[in-house]
Amino acid sequence: GQQVMQIPQYQHVQEGEDFTTYCNSSTTLSNIQWYKQRPGGHPVFLIQLVKSGEVKKQKRLTFQFGEAKKNSSLHITATQTTDVGTYFCAGDKAGTASKLTFGTGTRLQVTL
């Protein structure tokens, strides 16, 4: 079946440092979504990418969808303590009625 892997599993940064998490799918995706889960909370939707090579920005967050639509990345510039949480990518294979396959997640810890 479809597999979606994320690296790294965990990253600890000092506030102000940059952070990147990578997402790789074993199959081509129709779209990819990113979610953030704060400690003790539930996943919250961040963004969706649909087009090959698409890049979207949300303030300090930059999301990219690979040309082959099999990988994606999330880059955070100048991390803040409010960025703490686990970031999940989730891929939707074409024709699966919005049935997402979630990646394993990257847990981000930010300290002062």
Partner 1 sequence: NAGVTQTPKFRVLKTGQSMTLLCAQDMNHEYMYWYRQDPGMGLRLIHYSVGEGTTAKGEVPDGYNVSRLKKQNFLLGLESAAPSQTSVYFCASSYPGQGVLYYEQYFGPGTRLTVT
In the complex, what is the shortest distance from the CB of residue 46 to partner 1, in angstroms, rounded to a whole number? Answer: 9
Q: What single-letter amino acid sits at 23? A: C
Q: What single-letter amino acid sits at 73? A: S
**Of 26, 30, 81, 111, the one binding partner 1 by CB under 8 A:** 30
Binders of partner 1 among residues 62 to 101 (CB under 8 A) are 88, 90, 92, 97-101
Residue with tokens 């799918």, as numbered in its chain: 25
Show Cβ contacts of residue 104 under 8 Å, excluding neighbours closer than 6 positions: 4, 5, 6, 9
Cβ proximity to partner 1, 58 vs 80, nearer residue: 58
Q: Does 7 interact with partner 1 (rule: CB under 8 A)?
A: no
Dihedral sign for Cα 72, 88, 98, 45, please: negative
Q: Which residues bind partner 1 (CB under 8 A)?
A: 1, 4, 6, 9, 30-31, 33, 41-45, 48, 50, 88, 90, 92, 97-105
